[in-house]
Amino acid sequence: MALSERTFAVVGKSVQKIDGLGHVTGRTVYVDNLTFPGMLFTAMHRSPLPHAKILHLDTSRAERLPGVGAVVSYRDVPNNLHGLLTGLGVQADEPLLAEHEVCWVGQPIAAVAAADEDTAREAASLIRVEYEELPAVFDPLESLKEGAPPVRTAYGVYPNYYLYAGQPCRRIRYGDFEAAIQKADHVITGTYRTGPIEHAPLETQVSVAVPESNGRLTVYSTTQALYFTMGLLASLVGLPLSRVRFVGGTVGGGFGGKVDGATEPITGLLALKSGRPVKWRFTREEECLYSSVRGACHLEYTDGVMNDGRIIARKVRSIQDSGAYNRTSPYGVNKNANHVAGPYRIPNVWVDGYCVYTNKQPTSAMRGFGVFEATFAIEVQMDRIARQLGIDPWEIRFRNAYRKGDQTPTREILDSVALIETMQAAAQAAGIELTATQRALSSKEPRA
Amino acid sequence: MSVATTPAAQTELVVSFTLNGRPVQVRTRALDSVLAVLREQLQIGSVRVGCNEGDCGVCTVLLDGEPHRGCLLPAFVAEGREITTVEGLGDVNQLHPLQRAFHEHFASQCGFCTPGMILTAKSLLDRSPAPSREEIVAAISGNLCRCTGYRSIIRAIESVAQQGGR
Amino acid sequence: MANIELLRPRSVDEAVDLLERSVGAATVLAGGVDVMAGYYAGLLRPRAVLYLGEAGLSGVQTTAQAITLGATTPLLRLAELGQPSNGAGAALAAAASRVGTRAIQIQATIGGHLFTRPPYGDLQTMLLALDARVRLRGAAGEREVSLDTFLRGNGETTLGPGELVTAVVVPNAPGHAGYERIALTRGIGPALLTAAAWVDRDADGRCRVARIAVGGAGPRPYRATRAEQALVGRALDDVALREAGALAAEQASPSDDTFASAWYRRKVAAVAVERALRAAQGA
């Protein structure tokens, strides 16, 4: 039977959310609703400095405070140095709990589990750290410069940027930008910057780790990525996966911010050490200051454009602020580089995408990771081109839009593209009158 | 001299109030919030912690029918008064019109803001049964939602207002 | 958190007495919006709390001369003061109704509002333009002081040891008020800039009295006295209003903060004052 003749139960129908009734009656259970007998609460002692060597760490006063169930530091973490993307070949670079060095204000150093939040916080404040301050750098453009102070010095010599196949940036070289730019009728440049953004989910990061009598560790978590976080915890804490059980459920908003294992490895460690269930709920302040954020991005465009509006050459220098550690930024920069030339057919594209470290809060995934920043820059640049050439902004996009069979700067041959159709539908919805020629365009037809 | 020697001083209080129509009694300290007491002593899971400083609205409760920030309200102030949470509006088998409308209009995604939103809407419709869209927007301006973009929430409330239901 | 003693006076006299005997150790609790936020943020660690909600300090009294607002009167009560549409009551309602959201207005009190820190304190701007006075009581008795004198900036006041605010007194003078509030969001979060104007004109429409206050452009709201003086005797046409806005902005001492830059606040102050003056021209 043809697809158009079938009747569907779900496709094309408005279907109620299975958790909708729970939401409106208040019955939906979020991790912070969970409580267990003997449960302890967590507080973290964090770095007050953006960059310093740790000379001495003393947790003894915290350990002695009545009501404290356990204190953990780097000494308690079997595999302290880790990375979220080791599975993709990105080297581990971040300690779960700082050992030699702190590289951002707020970096976790030692955690306490105690009978109530006040006691936990008091104990955390009794942890003593001796520092030797080191120079810090906060601007990714400064960090890239020759002679900039190194953002991280422990665990070896690192440049202040991630190395992609031995190169300081992710590179795309398609066609011959340098030759093509000479032939352009116009050279149009633009610099665009997006700021860091906090996901601000209404529910903050929460997890409860429960040591079971059968030797397993059960973790109730707000993570958006159960298997990912489960694997992270297991490897950090040195447990086989068969001994770790993760329970997820309704997440009170994630947006990419509940993927990095902000609380789970810590509650897991504290639960194993204390033998008691341990909860950690981030305060709103912790969520803003210490959880991952979308990294700031700095993009420089140099376009070679012909009089008729065709973009024949595009060079993009894209600098993404990774903060003090990798987290998922090397991957984000890949996505950024892949998309940064836009949904437009450009025969000569040069991209340099940098993943740069600074002594700030590590940045990571957020909706449209790497692509959101690019889209902003691309479309403002298109409007700039349109203005400079005196061409209608819809027309400039129709002229350059991908068609079926076009090749991308990463050498993919495109089969199914629909920018033209999307623009036609958008124009209709917005009540914009397109020309007959524009209305007749089709992505399936090669350009004239 | 210790202030505690005066007859007016107390450090632990017994507070009696009505919760969703039932009389309850709790022991609290001076500045324990209604939010803390509802969650920790009365198993009310719908009133939540979002910011703990009165900015987000997920801790919204109705005190004598009026919206309050549960995180900013000292529990002792509830003495002799009525607190309503969504558990008191209706349940799965008998939904309040606002609960039904929120569900049918997809006015909820992650659900975290939903109870607070519904309570605020209820107090609005009790006060003003035929509110304009502008009035609805003003009334819910103190409840943050990070997921829906608010349109479906406004539509849900409008639909209840149009039906004359509260 | 250590156990906190809760003191619950049933009258103003008892409140003053308890405050005196606590020798500065008691934190005054009115509505609780600021005290609770501070307590849960770990910034306030009171040993004792003096709750004013049962001491008979709530209520609004209107006479021909003045509106007297009891210190623990919730802002919502002010937001609901309506008529007459051109009086001090309407002015208070216009400003109070835009402080936060209903859930905040129903709990926050006019007395507590005098102690709130920038960037909060919208209503202080309107009170300043209305020439409000603060009534205080201590062991030595009662006194009244202008709000302008009372506010010292950054939440500090000239409240003496052992003293309580018992009321805010707003004179019922002839004239009209205008108010402008500039903010990034409505309902939640502080204003970036508030401007309040009180104007009384003579039969020819010329300005007899002008009071202009600007909040959010300094450690406390200020009276834009240069702008006020420049308007006396003038018709309130566009030129006059723009000049007044510019003069008011010159007197600002804004700072950069998370919400806006000093540059922005000064720019916007001029515009907000102009709008407030325009709104103060009456129906």
B144 and B102 co-located in one domain: yes
Q: Once rounded to an integer, what is the mean pLDDT over residues C228-237?
A: 96
Distance CA C101, CA A91 (A): 49
Q: Once rounded to an integer, what is the mean pLDDT over residues A197-204?
A: 98
**Dihedral sign computed on CA atoms, order A381, A382, A386, A389:** positive
Of B52, B108, B146, Cβ closest to residue A23? B108
Identify from B146, B150, B152, B153 which residue to disrupt to test chain A contact, counting A C-beta atoms within 10 A and taking the largest count: B146
The strand pairing partners of A281, in sequence order, are A206
Distance CA A230, CA C128 (A): 58
- Flag whether residue B104 sits within 8 Å of chain A, measured between CB atoms: yes
A118 and A206 co-located in one domain: yes
Q: Do C107 and B73 touch (CB under 8 A)?
A: yes
Model confidence at A337: pLDDT above 90: yes
The owner of tokens 């997920």 is B58
Q: Considering only residues 296 to 335 of chain A, which have any Cβ-Cβ distance to chain B shorter than 8 Å?
A: none
B48 and B121 co-located in one domain: no
Q: Is B3 helix (H, G, I), strand (E, B) or coil?
A: helix
Domain that holds residue B82: 7-88
Q: What are the pLDDT digits (tens) for C101-158?
A: 999 999 999 999 999 999 999 999 999 999 999 999 999 999 999 999 999 999 999 9
Q: Are the C-beta atoms of residues B60 and B52 closer than 8 Å to each other? A: no
Does the residue B11 lie in any domain? yes
Predicted local confidence at residue C83, as pLDDT: 59
Q: Are the C-beta atoms of residues C52 and B74 closer than 8 Å to each other? A: no
Model confidence at C2: pLDDT above 80: no
- Other beta carbons within 10 Å of C261: 12
Q: Once rounded to an integer, what is the mean pLDDT over residues B19-24?
A: 98
Cβ neighbours for B132, distance < 8 A, ≥ 6 positions apart: none
Predicted local confidence at residue C189, as pLDDT: 86
Query: What pLDDT band is residue A164 in, cutting at 50, 70 and 90?
Result: very high
Query: What pLDDT band is residue B5 in, cutting at 50, 70 and 90?
Result: very low
The owner of tokens 């506010």 is C151
- Flag whether residue C53 sits within 8 Å of chain B, measured between CB atoms: yes
Predicted local confidence at residue C1, as pLDDT: 54
Q: Do A121 and C1 touch (CB under 8 A)?
A: no
Distance CA B112, CA B29 (A): 28
Q: What are the pLDDT digits (tens) for C65-105?
A: 999 999 999 999 999 987 555 589 999 999 999 999 999 99
Write the CATH number for B127.
1.10.150.120
Q: What are the pLDDT digits (tens) for A317-328?
A: 999 999 999 999
Predicted local confidence at residue B2, as pLDDT: 41
Does the residue B78 lie in any domain? yes
Average pLDDT over chain A reads 96
Does the residue A312 lie in any domain? yes
Query: What pLDDT band is residue B6 in, cutting at 50, 70 and 90?
Result: very low
Q: Are the C-beta atoms of residues A152 and A101 closer than 8 Å to each other? A: yes
A96 and A206 co-located in one domain: yes
Q: What are the pLDDT digits (tens) for A98-113?
A: 999 999 999 999 999 9
Q: Once rounded to an integer, what is the mean pLDDT over residues C210-228?
A: 97
Distance CA A376, CA C197 (A): 41
Predicted local confidence at residue C45, as pLDDT: 93
A280 and A310 co-located in one domain: no
Distance CA A3, CA B2 (A): 82
- Flag whether residue C2 sits within 8 Å of chain B, measured between CB atoms: no
Write the CATH number for A323.
3.30.365.10
Of all residues in chain C, the percent with pLDDT exceeding 90 is 89
ipTM reported for the complex surpasses 0.90: yes
Q: What are the pLDDT digits (tens) for A364-374?
A: 999 999 999 99
Q: What are the pLDDT digits (tens) for B85-105?
A: 999 999 999 999 999 999 999
Model confidence at B1: pLDDT above 70: no
Within 13 Å of residue C212, how many CA atoms lie on the same side as its CB? 32
Final residue before a domain boundary, out of B88, B123, B152: B88
Q: What are the pLDDT digits (tens) for B31-68?
A: 999 999 999 999 999 999 999 999 999 999 999 999 99
Predicted local confidence at residue B4, as pLDDT: 42
Does the residue A151 lie in any domain? no
Residue C96: what are its φ and ψ, rounded to 5°? -65, -35
Count of domains in chain B? 2
Q: Which two tokens stand for residue A255?
A: 């947006």
A203 and A304 co-located in one domain: no
Final residue before a domain boundary, out of B88, B118, B149: B88
Rg of chain A over Cα atoms, rounded to whole angstroms, equals 26
Of all residues in chain C, the percent with pLDDT exceeding 70 is 97
Does the residue B1 lie in any domain? no
- Flag whether residue A367 sits within 8 Å of chain B, measured between CB atoms: no
CA distances from A320 to A161, A350, B81 (A): 10, 17, 54
Q: Please name which of C269, C272, C239, C236 lies closest in space to residue C251, comparing C-alpha atoms.
A: C269
Q: List strand residue ranges (DSSP E) for chain B, in order.
A: 9-10, 12-19, 22-29, 60-63, 66-69, 82-84
Write the CATH number for A70.
3.90.1170.50
B83 and B13 co-located in one domain: yes
Predicted local confidence at residue C236, as pLDDT: 95
Final residue before a domain boundary, out of B68, B88, B108: B88
Count of domains in chain A? 2
A247 and A300 co-located in one domain: no
Q: Could you say which DSSP state residue A324 is in?
A: T
B77 and B106 co-located in one domain: no
Q: Do C37 and B6 touch (CB under 8 A)?
A: no
Q: Once rounded to an integer, what is the mean pLDDT over residues B9-37?
A: 94
A186 and A304 co-located in one domain: yes
Predicted local confidence at residue A158, as pLDDT: 84
Query: What pLDDT band is residue C282 in, cutting at 50, 70 and 90?
Result: low
Model confidence at C218: pLDDT above 90: yes
Please classify residue A149 by burial: count the beta carbons closer than 10 Å to its beta carbon, then call 0-12 exposed, 13-18 middle and 19+ buried: middle
Average pLDDT over chain C reads 94
A357 and A247 co-located in one domain: no
Distance CA C280, CA C265 (A): 22
Within 13 Å of residue A175, how many CA atoms lie on the same side as its CB? 19
- Total-model pTM: 0.94
A98 or A4: which leads in pLDDT: A98
A307 and A188 co-located in one domain: yes
B81 and B58 co-located in one domain: yes
- Flag whether residue B97 sits within 8 Å of chain A, measured between CB atoms: no
Q: Are the C-beta atoms of residues A51 and A103 closer than 8 Å to each other? A: yes
Classify B111 in phi/psi space as left (phi over 0), alpha (psi -120 to 50) or beta: left
Domain that holds residue A355: 170-197+293-388
A121 and A209 co-located in one domain: yes
**DSSP codes joined into one string, C256-267:** --SS--HHHHHH
Q: Is B53 helix (H, G, I), strand (E, B) or coil?
A: coil
Q: Are the C-beta atoms of residues A443 and A401 closer than 8 Å to each other? A: yes
Rg of chain B over Cα atoms, rounded to whole angstroms, equals 17
